[in-house]
Every structure is written in structure tokens, then in C-alpha cells.
Chain A
Amino acid sequence: MNKGNKTILRIIGILTGLLFLSPFYIVIVNAFKTKKELFMNTLGLPNSINFNNFVEAWKRLDFLSVFFNSLLITAGSIVFIIIFSSMAAWMLQRNKSKLSNFIFFLYIAAMLIPFQAVMLPLVRVMGKLNLLNIPGLMFMYVGFGSSLSIFLYHGFVKGIPTALDEAATIDGCNSWQTFWHIIFPILKPITITVAILNTVWIWNDFLLPSLVINRPGTRTIPLATFFFFGEYTKQWHLALAGLGLAIIPVIIFYFFAQKHIIESVTAGSVK
């Protein structure tokens, strides 16, 4: 490639990059403005930097408590998804029976089912079981998350030689010991992928928690944002500060785990 071409490409790259960043710019600058200032000047920088809107939004969102709800639900669900999906995937891959193939097929086929198709009966069934609460929600995430997670683990287990399992059995390990001491540590790379993909999904999920735990006190970040936004539609300066707060944890997560995140997303889609 010659020099001129490279310069043109670089300029195109910078312009597209700025275009992609502009929504963040709009949110940030306006979250610092007063109501009046925002109305007069939407595109420019704020006159002064003060955090009043953020403080106000933090209080009204009850941000600390919704943040911990989100964290608890996401982390709790992920731990159970990892434990149960990896166990099931290993057994389904190693056991070559018809039943085992059929169960695996069910998990894969279920990926096509849209949430709307199960939403109404799910709420009814879970209501009857007294599971419309945070533990119930985690249980549902284990159910919904198992398809993709088992699929990913299954593909990875295929690449682990069965000789390893056999050696462990000869050494006197039972299935439980073989799995946890020998197999599970080898699964680490795919466990990271499973954890990241499910984190992104559960952290941002709105519809399911809105049907299950939609009460003050148990709300997650997306739920609290939705209600906050409904109350302050005419007060964009507060609403935008709230949106800013909601985004910050994701951006921090992205900066720390960027490489893993991009690798996981690629692995999760291409397989």
C-alpha cells in the first residue's frame, strides 16, 4: 500500500472512530449541564464541571443498592451456570448413548426459541413455585444460559483426549473426582468465555427481570434505569446522568478485560 492511500485510510478511520464515539460525547457533556443550559446548548461543552446531576441521579436511582443487586444476580447465576453446564457437557460428550445425544440435541435446538414463546407460561409456572424472586431469577438464568454454555463446553471437551479420563479412573478416581480434579482445570479457557458471554447477557437483561423481580429493593440497573427514565423524561440532565452511571461499570469491565471479551465474543459466535 502506498503512503497516500494509508493517509486517506487513517483519516477515514479517525472520522469513523469519532462518529462512533459521538453518542458517548453527547451523554457526558449534557450530564454536566443544568436543565436550562442543556436546553440552550445541546451540542457544546458544559459551562462548568459540577457533579450535581450525578449526585442527584445516584440518590434517586439508589445506585449502590441496584448495582449490588445486578452484581449479586449476575455473579450468582454465572457460578451456577459454570458448575452445572460444565458438568452436564462433560457427561453428555463422554457418554455415547442415544439418550445423551437426544438431550444434547434438545439444548442446541432450544437456542432458536425466542423468549416470547415461553415468557407467559414461565411467569405462571414460576409464580406457582414461589420463585418470582432473586433466587428464582438465578434459577431461570441457569436454565436459559445452559444451551449456549453446554454447547461451548461440549465442543471443548471433544478436544480433550479420553485417555486422561481413563488414566484417572485407573488411579482410582470416581467420576466426581475425575471431573473436578482433572477435567475442570483444563476447561479454564472456555470457562472464561462462558463467564464473559453470560455476564454481558445477564448484566444487560431487561425483560426477564422486569417480569420476575420488578419491585423497589430488588431492581437491577436496567430495571432501575427504566423506571428512573420514565419519571424524568422531561429532565434530560438528570436522565443522562443516570444513563452515564449505568454505563460506567460496563466501560470499566471492558477496559480491564477487553482482550478476553473480544476473544470470547468471537468464539461464542463462530462456533
Chain B
Amino acid sequence: MKRNKLAFWGFVGPSLFAFSLVVIVPLLVGIYYSFTDWNGIRSNINFVGLKNYLEIFKDEGFIESFIFTTKFTIASVITINVIGFSLALLVTRKLKISNALRTIFFMPNLIGGLILGFIWQFIFTKGFASLGELTGQRWLLGWLSNQETGFWGLVILMAWQMSGYLMVIYVAAIQNIPKELVEASQIDGANAWERTKHIVFPLVRPAFTVSLFLTLSNSFKLYDQNLSLTGGGPANSTQMIAMNIYNTAFKFNEMGVAQAKAVVFFLIIGVVTLSQVYITKKSEVEM
């Protein structure tokens, strides 16, 4: 028995040690810090109760970033899923170019968010401006210089990055649909749209659960792209929650408040994503 125990810890121990020290301990310490006046510099830390949490609700910057993040998440989840699913339908139609298209659509997903943000900063500020001057389309001018274009800039960037990812997930689901089902419906006289609606949609529901989860949590937690595309500007109007937490901690040295925000952030993500998975799972079709 002793030998077994030794083997157990010998195998689980190294990973668990790193995991505890990097995830579990900081999480617990962080929850404790959120109730203190820790500022990262002073060594004596005092317990202040719920003060930091109450401060969050008075912090207009945080509330604005929360609203902006929520709006962005809704817009990007819808856009990415619609485009991703459409691309999946397109590349499963057995065209000669299907494989090449799949390669192209997926490619942006491998490039880091930080670098993508810089690329699109150039496209929106210089490329769009040139195109606008060339064609006389005034709406192409001045992108990223206000909240609205910053918002749609982020949505477009994320759509470009993640649609290919979701396409891959939806393609796997579409290819799992039994051929007989599709053939039977064709014999029954269903057209392409009816087939999509009554066969494809219900049978890709599990992939939909996954995709919704991935886009929801990725959009809500967005940081790198936010930093490199707009930097939160102009005047913090496109600042998302992750960036607000970062700035609270490192620009204003309010570690306790930043940590309280981070705990709230964690709870929101947990509640939203878990209820989403619960709701969409419930309505999946059993095969």
C-alpha cells in the first residue's frame, strides 16, 4: 500500500505542485488580497472588509468597461458564429477549392492576438483611409478615432481571427451527419434550405454549445487584441474589463481594488459560461 501511495504522488506530484503554486495558491491569496488595502509596495497589509468591492460599483471606468465588454461580447459571438457556420457550409460543398479555402480561413487563428491587433490598426487607420479617399466613401475615414469604430474594429478583428476556428469545429460536426439522413430528405423532396434547417441545424447543436462557450469566454476575456488595436482609447472609451483590471493594478497601484475586480470578473465568467453550457446542452438532440 505504501508503495502505491509513493507511486501515486510520484506521478501526480510534479504536475500538481506546479498547478497549485501557479493557479490554486494565487487564486486563494488573491481572494484574500481583495479584502485588503494591498498596493503592491507597502509590506504591511490591512484587512479592509468589503471596501474594495463597494469601490468597484462607484468606479465609472469599470462600469463603462463592463458595458462595453458586454456589448462587444454579444456582437462578436453572433458575428463569429454566423460567419464560422457559413464558412463551414461553404467548404463542405465539395468544391475543388474547398481545401485551399479551409487553409486560408483557419490561418489567422494561429497568429497571436497582439500581432493581429497591430496589423488591423494599420488596415483601419491607413488602409481604410486610402480606400475611402479613393472611392469617396466617407465612412471609411477616421477609424479607431472614436468609440463606435473602435468597437466595430474589434468585432471585425475577432471575426477574422476566430471564424476559421469555429468553421473547423462546425465542419467536424457537419461531416458527422449520417449521409442516409440527407439522402432520405432529398428523396422526400426537401430543398437545400429545408435540409439545412431541419437536419443540419439540429444535428450540429453539440458543436454549437462548444462554439458558443469558446467565443463567449474568449470575447469576454479579450486583452491582447484590445491592447494592440485601440489601446483602450480614445479616452478609455474602448477599454475592456481585462485591461481595466490591468490598469487599476499597474497604472494606479490599487492592487486590492484590482484584485476585487478580478474576483468579480471570475464570478461573472463562471456564471455566464456555465449557464450557457447548461442551457444549450439541454436543448441538444439526442442521437
Residues of A within 8 A of B (CB): 1, 6, 9-10, 12-14, 16-17, 20-21, 23, 26-27, 30, 38, 41-43, 83-85, 87-88, 90-92, 95, 100, 103, 106-107, 110, 112-122, 124-125, 139-140, 142-144, 146-147, 150, 174-176, 179, 200, 203-207, 222, 225-226, 229, 236, 239-240, 243, 246-247, 250-251, 253-254, 258, 261-262, 265-266, 269-270
Q: Which of B23, B105, B259 contacts A143 (CB 8 A)?
A: B23
Bound complex: CA A115 to CA B255 (Å): 15
Give the top 8 A-B pairs by smallest Cβ distance, nearest first.
A143-B22, A204-B112, A91-B11, A143-B18, A118-B26, A121-B26, A88-B15, A84-B15
Q: Which of B33, B110, B130, B224 contacts A206 (CB 8 A)?
A: B224
Q: Which residues of A contact B223 (CB under 8 A)?
A: 116, 207
- Closest CB-CB distance, A114 to chain B, in whole Å? 5
Among residues of B, the one whose C-beta sits closest to the C-beta of A251 is: B107
**Of A6, A12, A266, which is in contact with the most chain B CB atoms at under 10 Å from its CB?**
A266
- Closest CB-CB distance, B276 to chain A, in whole Å? 12
Q: Which of A84, A87, A121, A265 contacts B29 (CB 8 A)?
A: A121
- Closest CB-CB distance, A168 to chain B, in whole Å? 13
Q: Which of A17, A23, A110, A251 contacts B120 (CB 8 A)?
A: A23
Bound complex: CA A243 to CA B228 (Å): 12
**Interface of chain A, helix or strand or loop or mixed?**
helix
Q: Which of B49-57, B70-78, B143-151, B165-173 contacts A (4 or more CB under 8 A)?
A: B165-173
Contact status B118-A243, CB under 8 Å: yes
Report if A21-B119 is in contact (Cβ < 8 Å); known contacts: A119-B262, A125-B21, A179-B11.
no
Contact status B22-A140, CB under 8 Å: yes
Contact status B270-A143, CB under 8 Å: no
**Interface of chain B, helix or strand or loop or mixed?**
helix
Q: Which residues of B contact A85 (CB under 8 A)?
A: 15
Contact status A261-B119, CB under 8 Å: no
* Number of interface residues, chain B, beta carbon within 8 A: 89
Report if A226-B269 is in contact (Cβ < 8 Å); known contacts: A142-B15, A269-B169.
no
C-beta contact mask, B237-268 vs A, less than 8 Å → 1, else 0?
00000100110010000010011001101100
Report if A103-B16 is in contact (Cβ < 8 Å); known contacts: A204-B112, A270-B172.
yes
Q: Which residues of B contact A118 (CB under 8 A)?
A: 22-23, 26-27, 30
